[in-house]
Amino acid sequence: MHLPAILPWGAAEGFSKQMLLVLLSVAIIATFFVLAARKRQLVPGKLQFAGEAAYGFVRNGIAKDIIGGRDFIKYVPLLFSLFFFILVNNIYGAIPLIQLPTFSHVGGAYVLAGLVYFTWIAIGVKKNGLRYFKLATVPSGVPWFILPIVIPIEIISNFLVRPVTHSLRLFATMLAGHLIVMIAGSGIEFLVMQENILLKGTSVLVLAGAIAMYMLEALIMVLQAYVFTLLTAIYIEGALHADSH
């Protein structure tokens, strides 16, 4: 089911299959969109139309709707790259023979969530100055005697928990989906190996379940890419308009 690892699986050092897939995803996304965008025809061909539809989904469906204003275009490249990078790396998990979603290993999720974390803090500080930290942690319109409780909660939820949930949500869904498909696969293999013909027959039921789980997992792969990008847009929007929250 799996391609052999280039170097020992989960190697602490050296070049793993997963790293190759990450670089391959960069090549796939860059090639597709550069080819699609290169012609710049007023009446697009099929490839250009597909590229424009995909680009427009992130540009208008996420960046423009969430961030809005005139400045949203500045954040489109980050959101666009995040969405398609995560999407392609997730969908690896649904492609036979590859079947390895990159973010089923936690490192990649940490990296992307960390990038986003520092990006929105930088945007907030650039926009509001150091006052941003006050704006982000002290909600307006709250009675003074509740503030001692609210401020620590805000600090924890915004600056400590947020990057953790952002990364672990992606990692956990991918790992769980990967494990479910893998367990179903080995379960089928185990049942087929049985001598008892009736027991062997039950493998069909597991297969049906595995196919259903595979479909669900494919949906979650797309959905998590969208959720991760959407949350990034929401964080950036919150940093930009901290004084009105």
Q: What minimum distance in Å lies between the beta carbon of 153 and another protein?
A: 24
Q: CB of residue 196 vs another protein: minimum separation in angstroms? A: 20
The 8-class DSSP code of residue 5 comes to P
Nearer to another protein, 111 or 215 (CB): 111
- Give the nearer residue to another protein in terms of CB position, either 9 or 142: 9
Q: How far apart are CA 234 and CA 170, in angstroms?
A: 16
Choose between 151 and 172: whose C-beta lies nearer to another protein. Answer: 172
Nearer of residues 51 and 238 to another protein, judged by Cβ: 51
> Which residue from 136, 134, 131, 108 is spatially nearest to 120, judged by alpha carbons?
136
> Least distance (Å) from another protein to the CB of residue 53?
11
Where along the sequence are the contacts to another protein (CB under 8 A)?
1-2, 9-16, 18-19, 22-23, 25-26, 29-30, 33-34, 37-38, 40-42, 44, 48, 51-52, 55, 59, 73, 76-78, 80-81, 84-85, 102, 105-108, 110-112, 115, 168, 175, 182, 185-186, 189
- CB 48 to another protein: min, Å: 8
Query: CB of 197: closest distance to another protein in angstroms?
Result: 22
- The least distance separating another protein from the CB of residue 155, rounded to whole angstroms, comes to 23
With beta carbons less than 8 A apart as the criterion, state whether 78 and 90 touch: no
- Nearest distance, CB of residue 133 and another protein, angstroms: 26
Closer of 88 and 135 to another protein (Cβ): 88
> Between residues 41 and 244, which has the closer beta carbon with respect to another protein?
41
Distant-in-sequence, close-in-space partners of 20: CB < 8 Å, separation ≥ 6: 6
In angstroms, what CA-CA distances link 29 with 24, 42, 147, 179, 185?
A: 9, 23, 47, 26, 30
At how many degrees (to 10) do helices 76-91 and 106-128 cross? 170
Identify which of residues 100 and 242 has a Cβ nearer to another protein in the complex: 100
CA distance 26 to 33: 11
62: amino acid identity, one letter:
I
Residue 13 DSSP symbol? S
Helix axes 76-91, 17-38, angle to 10 degrees: 130
CA 162-165-166 angle, 5° bins: 80
Distance, CA of 170 to CA of 173 (rounded, Å): 6
